[in-house]
Structure 1
Amino acid sequence: MIGAGLGSMAAAARLAVAGHRVTVYESGSTYGGGVRRFERDGFGFDTGPGLLHLPAVYRDLFVKTGKQPLEECVTLTQVDPASRHVFADGTRVDLPNASRAGTVAALDAALGAGAGERWGAFMVRAREAWDRTRRPLLEEPQPEDVSALGREPYPAPKAGLLRRPTTTLARIGDRELRDPRLAALLGSYAWSYGFDPATAPASAAVLPYMEQTFGSWYVAGGIRALADAVYERCLQRRVEFVFGTEVTDVLEERGRAVGLALAGGETVRADHVVAGAPVPTLYAEQTVGWESGDDWPRFQPVRTGRVTLCLALRGAREPGAAHRTVVHASGELPTVTVLRPDDPALRPDGAHESVTVTATVVTRESWAGCAERMLAQAAEAVPELRGRLLWQEVRTPDDTLLETGAAEVPGPALAGARGQWLPAPNRADLAGLYFAGGWSHPGGGLAHAGMSGALVAGLIVEGADFRGSQ
């Protein structure tokens, strides 16, 4: 197995339980892929995802791979409010966790009568898109013929002048929500997954639907604690990890993957090879051989990375502070997500606070000087931020590149747009080679990476008879 990200480890634990001997080769010094932690002076920060959505994915992993359920290995807490939103005009609204009626009421109260109704009507259509795509996009292997997934599942409103297809998420905001603040709210879900709403297909409506329906959860000690728990489960199942070891090639004989070549010149034989490293990197570096561009697997046209500020603050977190605040863009300022977990494990004592501020960026030029603008936005969410700031650590897509092999952060698989937002399938063209993790079906994100591991394990264990998770 190449790489020790969450998708790889999810596959490794399941394969080990099925009786396979699994060895994971990781070029870095630790596991987790993009799920990392930065620590300094008693402060701790998640430098990847900060919240977990669809925890059922990891509950299923722990049920299928051992006696201890997920909740005995980590502490999960629903975040409430799920998010606080600060709009460019100063309007603020707190959205409850997994409450459709509560969200409608909150939007009406903050943005004016009718705002909640429009958002609620949009969520009904988003649910239709979710119902149409949930199983083929999340629970089944990607079919060879993806033409059905290339059709837009998001329905047009059934009445009025809007009864024509909507092609992008931004157009939903303009045509159906009809309030720049609601449009910004919708767009923030796309940005948080690395999508620009101006180019993301209308099917990205499933992202707010997923979060608002199934809730947002915090893992005590930070999301890195989830990676720790999955790693420990792998060790319990006798998965072997070899760190600091780069894989340079996938060995091929008679049109089938039969092992790996390592940087030191050693080769290892295998019945199956699972690659958890970024799929584009594997091909660009010819770890997976190819003759021409036609041999490349399909993967999303990802163009975005993330800049994260790790802020060490003096002073205690004030009562009523929201765990997650989204401060929406104004002028040249970026839309940022501010995470303020009330977690003693991430601060030296009660007289200090650790805060992370994250923004999605499109090009290298866009993150030059981005930290100062992000800090200005974060001040809307953290009282007296600049006066409380002890120090900050700025992490850019260059850090993501060093840790994961790619500067970009892949998003979940999305239907529509003739299939261009679908990632690489789990089964490679080369027999015996499989892809797991955020760059493969069903795409990026904690839950989706866990699903990819389940799909790869199913394909290896059950072979051509595997039809998806039950």
Structure 2
Amino acid sequence: MARIAVIGAGMGAMAAAARLAVAGHRVAVYERTETYGGAVRRFERDGFAFDTGPGLLTLPAVYRDLFVKTGKQPLEDVVELVQVDPAARHVFADGTRVALPNASRAGVVAALDEALGAGAGQRWGDFLVRAREAWDRTRRPLLEEPLWPNWQVLAEREPYPAVPHKRLLRTRRASTPAEIGAWELRDERLAALLQSHVLAYGLDPRTAPASAAVLPYMEHAFGTWYVRGGIRELARAVYERCLQRKVEFFFGAEVIGILEKDGRAKGLELADGTVAEADHVVADVDTARLRDLTEHPLDEDGDVRADPISPPPARFTLLLALRGGREPEAAHRTVVHAPDAEIELDFLASPGGDQPVCPTVTVLRPDDPALRPDGAHESVVVSAVVSCEAAWEDEGTVRRYTDFLLEAGRRAVPGLRERLLWHEVRSPVHTEEETGARFGAVPAPALAAGRGRFLHPANTTRLPGLYRVGGWSHPGGGLPHAGMSGALVAGLIVEGPEFRGSQ
């Protein structure tokens, strides 16, 4: 039985902790704040409750597997999973609206044809077929296995089978989502639909690799799910599973250093002077903070995966308490597209330049009595991807984005301004306080191609006994990916370097 010290109580960390405890190890988790879940948190006020992190779940099979492997109670016995239908309603810049059914290719094709014109649905359906091919090519090496030592294979090969595009006697293939939209989808609204899936993870569709097509495919193929009571309930369930497996949690325990002995990680030093000895250390922290915790080099010199995308993405969120009940036909999720997508992306790439512009906004309206005082009220979460390099300490910047999100929310929620009782602002500053991630940055999922810029550092490090878990390590950000990283780290510790993922 080995002693395992885990830094942070995020979803990836807890997923690893539960699996390691079941394998017979003694696991202790040291969390800087006073609660678990990382970015998966809840805000409560006046009988209203809100998810302040992710509001929906894709690939629930990741957490089903976690519960199967760590106990007798399956996931559905401890949380209620609800498939969201429609998966989303989209409001495009020209005013066109379309509601897309959940996990139904035929339904999506028909809805797009009706809203955007004959042929639009078929073009999107054909794109999903190609996206599936990219998924099939990358699923195992990118998500289910530790990052290969020759990870350059994933970095150099584009798995998306783009359609040849002839122009001016030249044949070209799409290498980015923006080019897929322009050359293959051939409709500004379809292009915006694709780009919104990419932008939701903080990626620029003009520079992300075409393999980002797997992001809308994952949602289409495996559905979009809500956890009754809010996604925070999923974090609670994973935390309680850890407790059942005798994982120890120490809250308010800030780690200030990783101890080394005989060339390997051997424990932690806490801010109060306490030393926690361990045979293995698992860190669920961002890349920059992990570097601060040890003087040992963690990656090879020149490893592009160790350098985060710049500027890194963050999220700006409003929590809205509304009077009046939710109308029966309301969609759980509405995406209100930016008036000018190109200007939005320009500002994300260079936030120090022009004034902020109205971004693409996601509006979440869960039909959940647990989140509101009674049926005569409604809790709504409105959010947008922003650059963490904007001036978030400036009241003017916060006020501008508040106005942007309220105006976009008005297009999704009838009578929003008249119904608004109060709102709470959640800027990247709050994210940094809660997660410890520098500037409130939010990690994106790992993607193949793009010269490795969209991969994440491996779960192993150059310091023996030190492992990385969670969104800032392979296979990247997002609830499913965090759960996958926990499985990979547990496998590496239990089975050793020869571990190649679950079969």
Where on the TM-score scale, by shorter chain, does this alignment land: which range? over 0.9
1:405 to 414, 417, 436: 436
**Structure 1 match to 2:195:** 187
**Structure 1 match to 2:144:** 139
**Structure 1 match to 2:350:** none
- 1:273-288 correspondence runs (5 A): 273-283=281-291, 285-287=292-294
2:317 to 265, 286, 308: 308
Counterpart check, 1:298 vs 2:306: yes
Instruction: Call closer, same or farther: CA 1:322–1:291 in 2, change over 3 Å.
Output: closer
Partner SS for 2:154: coil
Counterpart check, 1:437 vs 2:444: no
User: What amino acid does structure 2 have at the position aligned with 1:311?
Assistant: L
- 1:188-207 correspondence runs (5 A): 188-207=196-215
**Structure 2 match to 1:256:** 264
Counterpart check, 1:215 vs 2:223: yes
Distance 2:300 2:431 in 1: 26
Partner SS for 1:430: coil
Contact (CA 8 Å) 1:156, 1:164: kept in 2 or not? no
How large is the RMSD of aligned CA atoms in angstroms?
Answer: 1.6
**Structure 1 match to 2:241:** 233
Contact (CA 8 Å) 2:287, 2:306: kept in 1 or not? no
1:95 to 79, 97, 100: 100
**Structure 1 match to 2:449:** 416
**Structure 1 match to 2:422:** 391
User: What amino acid does structure 2 have at the position aligned with 1:152?
Assistant: E
User: What amino acid does structure 1 have at the position aligned with 2:108?
Assistant: T
**Structure 2 match to 1:326:** 335
Distance 2:83 2:166 in 1: 39
Counterpart check, 1:339 vs 2:364: yes
- 1:71-150 correspondence runs (5 A): 71-150=76-155
Counterpart check, 1:450 vs 2:483: yes
Q: 1:459, CA displacement in angstroms?
A: 0.3
User: What amino acid does structure 2 have at the position aligned with 1:314?
Assistant: R
Contact (CA 8 Å) 2:325, 2:376: kept in 1 or not? yes
**Structure 2 match to 1:47:** 52
After superposing the two structures, state which structure 1 stretch, 225-234 or 113-122, moved more.
Answer: 113-122
Moved beyond 6 Å, runs of 4+: none
Instruction: Call closer, same or farther: CA 1:448–1:299 in 2, change over 3 Å.
Output: farther
Contact (CA 8 Å) 2:299, 2:462: kept in 1 or not? no
Instruction: Call closer, same or farther: CA 1:225–1:299 in 2, change over 3 Å.
Output: farther
Q: Which runs of 5+ in 1 are unaligned?
A: none
User: What amino acid does structure 2 have at the position aligned with 1:376?
Assistant: E
User: What amino acid does structure 2 have at the position aligned with 1:350?
Assistant: G
**Structure 2 match to 1:34:** 39
Partner SS for 1:136: helix
Distance 1:432 1:389 in 2: 52
User: What amino acid does structure 1 have at the position aligned with 2:15?
Assistant: A
Q: 1:122, CA displacement in angstroms?
A: 1.1
Instruction: Call closer, same or farther: CA 1:72–1:291 in 2, change over 3 Å.
Output: closer
Q: 1:254, CA displacement in angstroms?
A: 2.0
Contact (CA 8 Å) 1:279, 1:439: kept in 2 or not? yes
Distance 1:116 1:160 in 2: 23
Partner SS for 2:257: strand
Contact (CA 8 Å) 1:299, 1:440: kept in 2 or not? no
User: What amino acid does structure 2 have at the position aligned with 1:389?
Assistant: L
Distance 2:283 2:171 in 1: 44
Q: 1:294, CA displacement in angstroms?
A: 3.0
1:317 to 316, 323, 326: 326
Distance 2:252 2:324 in 1: 39
Distance 2:490 2:479 in 1: 17
User: What amino acid does structure 1 have at the position aligned with 2:141?
Assistant: P
Contact (CA 8 Å) 2:265, 2:466: kept in 1 or not? yes
Distance 1:464 1:292 in 2: 16
| Cα deviation digits, residues 246-293 of structure 1 (max 9, x gap) | 11111111221111111111211111100011122211x344544999
User: What amino acid does structure 2 have at the position aligned with 1:29?
Assistant: E
User: What amino acid does structure 2 have at the position aligned with 1:437?
Assistant: G
User: What amino acid does structure 2 have at the position aligned with 1:381?
Assistant: A
Contact (CA 8 Å) 2:268, 2:275: kept in 1 or not? yes
Q: 1:24, CA displacement in angstroms?
A: 0.3
Partner SS for 2:149: coil
Distance 2:405 2:420 in 1: 14
After superposing the two structures, state which structure 1 stretch, 205-214 or 145-154, moved more.
Answer: 145-154
Partner SS for 1:365: coil
Distance 1:53 1:414 in 2: 17
Q: 1:366, CA displacement in angstroms?
A: 7.2
User: What amino acid does structure 1 have at the position aligned with 2:85?
Assistant: D
| Cα deviation digits, residues 123-154 of structure 1 (max 9, x gap) | 11111111110000110000111111012111
Counterpart check, 1:8 vs 2:10: no
Distance 1:206 1:305 in 2: 21
**Structure 2 match to 1:64:** 69
After superposing the two structures, state which structure 1 stretch, 449-458 or 266-275, moved more.
Answer: 266-275
User: What amino acid does structure 1 have at the position aligned with 2:372?
Assistant: R
Distance 1:236 1:45 in 2: 27
Q: 1:174, CA displacement in angstroms?
A: 1.2
Contact (CA 8 Å) 2:297, 2:463: kept in 1 or not? no
TM-score, length-scaled by structure 1 = 0.97
1:354 to 367, 379, 392: 379
Contact (CA 8 Å) 1:282, 1:288: kept in 2 or not? no
**Structure 1 match to 2:276:** 268
Contact (CA 8 Å) 2:299, 2:306: kept in 1 or not? no
| Cα deviation digits, residues 74-123 of structure 1 (max 9, x gap) | 00000000000011111110100001111111101100011111111111
TM-score, length-scaled by structure 2 = 0.91
Distance 2:78 2:67 in 1: 9
Q: 1:364, CA displacement in angstroms?
A: 3.6
Instruction: Call closer, same or farther: CA 1:116–1:159 in 2, change over 3 Å.
Output: same
| Cα deviation digits, residues 24-44 of structure 1 (max 9, x gap) | 000101000000111100000
Q: 1:163, CA displacement in angstroms?
A: 4.9
Partner SS for 1:439: coil
**Structure 2 match to 1:379:** 410
Partner SS for 1:113: coil
